[in-house]
């Protein structure tokens, strides 16, 4: 299982590096992703606002770590993805276009928070609906437990009533 994961990672790095080379042959090769990411702004001619790079990277999921954003991930793949983000922003693309590029390449899974449309609305609505249903159940149970219970009135036998009256009268 571990070997398959390493093979998938190596394939992703190779495919990612080739797609960068195919788009920008004049850009430095990303054969060593960390070295290129570490020297990114020094090699790039136009400057890119690093805050914009951070905002875009914070929206994307790292394909290696899967529970971290590209901004927070220490993996080589995340460094390459940050370099691609920086490169595409330097080429004049809007941040939304860069995010859409990664969505087209990896699918909606790459987004850390799903978009609020279509079937994804279920992801946003389910927690709210669950909390409301839970509160309703708690309210109904509390009402049942705290409401005084009225005992059904059972008619007293007239003979028993007469006996009780006689015993009460006989008390001093």
Say whether domain 2-113 belongs to CATH 1.10.760.10.
no
Tens of pLDDT along 123-154?
778 889 999 999 999 999 999 888 887 777 78
Domain locations in the chain?
2-113, 119-170
> In this structure, what is the dihedral angle of CA atoms 116, 85, 30, 27, given to the nearest 10 degrees?
140
DSSP-based three-state secondary structure for 172:
coil
DSSP-based three-state secondary structure for 94:
coil
Compute the distance between CA of residue 62 and CA of residue 53 in angstroms, rounded to an integer: 15
Compute the distance between CA of residue 83 and CA of residue 48 in angstroms, rounded to an integer: 11
Provide the whole-model pTM.
Answer: 0.48
Contact 96, 56 (CB under 8 A): no
> In this structure, what is the dihedral angle of CA atoms 97, 119, 5, 60, given to the nearest 10 degrees?
30
Tens of pLDDT along 24-73?
433 333 333 444 444 444 454 467 889 999 999 999 999 898 789 999 99
């Amino acid at each position: 299982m571990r070997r398959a994961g390493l093979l998938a990672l190596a394939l992703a790095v190779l495919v990612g590096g080739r797609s960068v080379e195919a788009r920008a042959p004049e850009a430095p090769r990303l054969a060593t992703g960390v070295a290129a990411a570490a020297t990114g702004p020094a090699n790039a001619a136009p400057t890119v606002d690093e805050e914009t790079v951070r905002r875009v990277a914070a929206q994307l999921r790292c394909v290696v770590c899967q529970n971290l954003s590209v901004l927070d991930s220490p993996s080589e793949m995340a460094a390459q993805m940050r370099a691609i983000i920086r490169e595409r922003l330097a080429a004049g693309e809007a941040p939304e276009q860069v995010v859409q590029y990664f969505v087209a390449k990896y699918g909606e899974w790459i987004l850390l928070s799903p978009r609020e449309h279509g079937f994804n609305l279920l992801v946003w609505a389910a927690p709210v609906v669950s909390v409301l249903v839970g509160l309703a159940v708690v309210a109904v149970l509390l009402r049942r437990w705290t409401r005084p219970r009225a005992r059904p009135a059972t008619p007293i036998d007239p003979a028993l009533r007469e006996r009780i009256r006689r015993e009460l009268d006989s008390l001093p």
